[in-house]
Chain A
């Protein structure tokens, strides 16, 4: 009965380093979303998967951001050559993918770029 699990909970990286953030969705959930939440702001959409297909990546802020979900379950959000403005909480959500099924969120990964 586990919920959405994200790891690590906290990540500190130096500017220019690459980071990888992991999301384990609820078992059986076909839809998976990534959001970025800056300090004091609401979450903003990054990208969306249905099973292994990335159907929408319109929210990714630059080509340094890359997400994958190769087997339709676990997803990884990768940020290359990190910059200070990448500091934020990254939230993952999953859903059953039906119109009347809401998204369930993980606790997020807090990324700090020094």
Chain B
């Protein structure tokens, strides 16, 4: 069965600093990979997705993620965070792009001035 690990439960960064959120997956083949963001009381908004091709994926709000097959990782990065980036971030996988998602437990991001 597929699984997703987000090793960092909570990360605090200063506004303007760079950010990297870790995601590792377990799956027999290369799955479809996603990052979603969830603000309090809201649903999940898709930041970016990886299906195939270029392993560096650009998303919305200045985020990017890199798929590394050898490390079974799909880490999310942003060069300079803004206070509005404070939220919960979820990594997810699916065997195919339109099938059920398996989520990690999430990483809560706090931004300090």
Contacts and interface: CB of A to CB of B under 8 A. Distances in A.
Interface of A: 4, 31, 33, 35, 40-45, 48, 56, 59, 91, 93, 95-108
A100 B97 contact: yes
B63 interface: no
Interface in B62-105: 90, 92, 96-105
User: Which of A42, A43, A91, A102: most chain B CB closer than 10 A?
Assistant: A42
Interface residues of B, number: 25
Contacts of B4: 42
A40 to B, nearest CB: 8
A35 B103 CA distance: 10
A101 B43 contact: no
9 contacts: A35-B101, A41-B105, A41-B106, A48-B99, A95-B98, A99-B32, A101-B97, A102-B97, A103-B46
